[in-house]
Structure 1
Amino acid sequence: MAICYIAKTPDYWLRVKLESNEIISVPYGLKLERLEIKAGREYFKILEGVYKGKKASVSMPPGGSYLTDKIKHQSGILLKFDRKSQSLHVGGAGPFNAFSGGGHSGYTPVSAGTYLLAIPAYPSAQTRAAYNHWCTYHNLWFRIGIETTGSRFLHAGIISDGCVTVRQFIYDPKKKEKPPAGFEDLVQGAQTAPGLLGLPLPEKPAPCINWDTLVNTILLCRHDDQAVGKLVVT
């Protein structure tokens, strides 16, 4: 079996075609079995994640390949999230700023427990271009739990519908500061749905971790063929 992986792309996603002709996106570092090269396309079998067992192909770029054998997965990583202090530990590093929103429109913070953290399955559309000021991979989200119907994720953001949301900046309406460009809606949100913004903030908020740094820390970790590691919520 010729093992290979999705090579690095600018946004860490690669669009490929399944045998059914459906076009999907797969993340950097996804493990594959290389099958053949035919008519300018590389054919492979996906060995992990939500499309495990599916066969797919991708057109080859001039003089190169979107597949590589130069990647080595690391052991599964452990993340610990404390809801009260709004803090996240990643492996042995932290605390970093994160929160889980609720208290509006039926949303509730994530429950205490231990969850698998899934290999990313698709680029999230629930983000905004303004995050580009801080990070590149803000549409790369990790599902909390491996059930594909799950709607809670570990992700970069400033608004949380019950996910574990990793702040890229801290907005404190008590300081009467204007939010950054592209986030003007936070002023109204702080008034109408403060829980979704994790307000009020803890007395001493943890520092922010750059989302790209976090992604590069955990994306190539593997607990098994469906998860990068575990998330413990207290």
Structure 2
Amino acid sequence: MSIRHVSNADNEGWLLVKFSGNSHPEALPQYLRVEYIKTEGGRDYFKVIEGVHVGKEGSVKQQEGGGSYLIEGDPKQPAAKVHFVIGSKKLWYQNDGGWIGPIDTMTDPDNKVPVGTYNIEIPDAPHKVPDEYKDKSRFAGTWFRIGHTGDRYLHPGSVSAGCATVTDIPKWTDLYNYLINRRKDDKSVGEIYVFATDSDRPQ
């Protein structure tokens, strides 16, 4: 099996493709792993092997000059580990054995992310965000679902409706780059551990 991965085609972390039997284009996230099938008629054909579109076959037009938007090689890194403390509104992530943070992060006090451990899902689709967010991080429209159901996400912003919302939006680019090519399994980039207070968080 020839593994390739999705390039950052739009400079915001997404590549538009067409799935078989569907004329409406769909966006695939950067570093999503696919099985390359063939190149024919100026298009690369592939099968998605992870994420919300797993199992679907599709194609993407080649770049001008014949280059591919599907890059050879398997980019996956070890599973991500993220800590979020509700009380102090801080977030950390583990990289190369050490913790990076804290990063200012909040949740809705009336609809908090419940304390516990959750999978962080591979991004599903681009989310609409204000231009001012993208001015601070071009990846602001890429969100990571907390768990695999519902509408709680790890995302950047200034308002939270029950998500883990990174309010220090310029820091989102570093967090995005940390998360996007990590994998726990074919649905998740890793795990987020949600604590009530700093004293609950292991150091």
Task: State TM-score, norm by structure 1.
Answer: 0.78
- Give the corresponding residue for 1:223: 184
Q: Deviations over 1:161-217 (max 9, x none)?
A: 010000126xxxxxxxxxxxxxxxxxxxxxxxxxxxxxxxxxxxxxxx611111001
Task: State the SS of the aligned residue for 2:185.
Answer: coil
What RMSD, in angstroms, separates the aligned Cα atoms of the two structures? 1.2
Task: State TM-score, norm by structure 2.
Answer: 0.89
1:143 aligns with 2:104: no
- Give the corresponding residue for 2:113: 110
- Give the corresponding residue for 1:201: none
What aligned pairs does 1:40-59 form with structure 2 within 5 A after superposition?
40-59=42-61
1:93 aligns with 2:75: no
Following TM superposition, by how much is the alpha carbon of 1:13 offset from its aligned partner in structure 2, in angstroms? Answer: 0.3
Conservation of the 8 A alpha-carbon contact between 1:223 and 1:229: yes
What aligned pairs does 1:117-132 form with structure 2 within 5 A after superposition?
117-125=120-128, 127-132=129-134
Following TM superposition, by how much is the alpha carbon of 1:44 offset from its aligned partner in structure 2, in angstroms? Answer: 0.1
Conservation of the 8 A alpha-carbon contact between 1:81 and 1:88: yes
Following TM superposition, by how much is the alpha carbon of 1:94 offset from its aligned partner in structure 2, in angstroms? Answer: 1.3
Q: For the residues of structure 1 that align with 2:4 and 2:133, how far apart are their CA atoms? A: 32
Conservation of the 8 A alpha-carbon contact between 1:102 and 1:161: no
Following TM superposition, by how much is the alpha carbon of 1:133 offset from its aligned partner in structure 2, in angstroms? Answer: 2.7
Structure 1 residue ranges, 4+ long, deviating more than 2 angstroms after superposition: none
Structure of larger gyration radius = 1
Q: For the residues of structure 1 that align with 2:160 and 2:130, how far apart are their CA atoms? A: 14
Following TM superposition, by how much is the alpha carbon of 1:93 offset from its aligned partner in structure 2, in angstroms? Answer: 1.0
- Give the corresponding residue for 1:60: 62
1:5 aligns with 2:5: yes
Among candidates 75, 82, 87, match of residue 84 of structure 1: 87
Unaligned runs of 5+ in 2: 196-203
- Give the corresponding residue for 1:214: 175
Alignment coverage as a number of residue pairs: 188
Q: For the residues of structure 2 that align with 1:222 and 1:6, how far apart are their CA atoms? A: 15
AA aligned opposite 2:103: F
Conservation of the 8 A alpha-carbon contact between 1:4 and 1:67: yes
Task: State the SS of the aligned residue for 2:174.
Answer: helix
Following TM superposition, by how much is the alpha carbon of 1:71 offset from its aligned partner in structure 2, in angstroms? Answer: 4.8
Q: For the residues of structure 2 that align with 1:15 and 1:72, how far apart are their CA atoms? A: 20
Following TM superposition, by how much is the alpha carbon of 1:69 offset from its aligned partner in structure 2, in angstroms? Answer: 1.4
Conservation of the 8 A alpha-carbon contact between 1:116 and 1:145: yes
Q: For the residues of structure 2 that align with 1:132 and 1:230, how far apart are their CA atoms? A: 25
Q: For the residues of structure 2 that align with 1:15 and 1:133, how far apart are their CA atoms? A: 22
**More off after superposition, 64-73 vs 222-231:** 64-73
Q: For the residues of structure 2 that align with 1:112 and 1:47, how far apart are their CA atoms? A: 31
What is the identity percentage for the equivalent residue pairs of Structure 1 and Structure 2?
A: 35
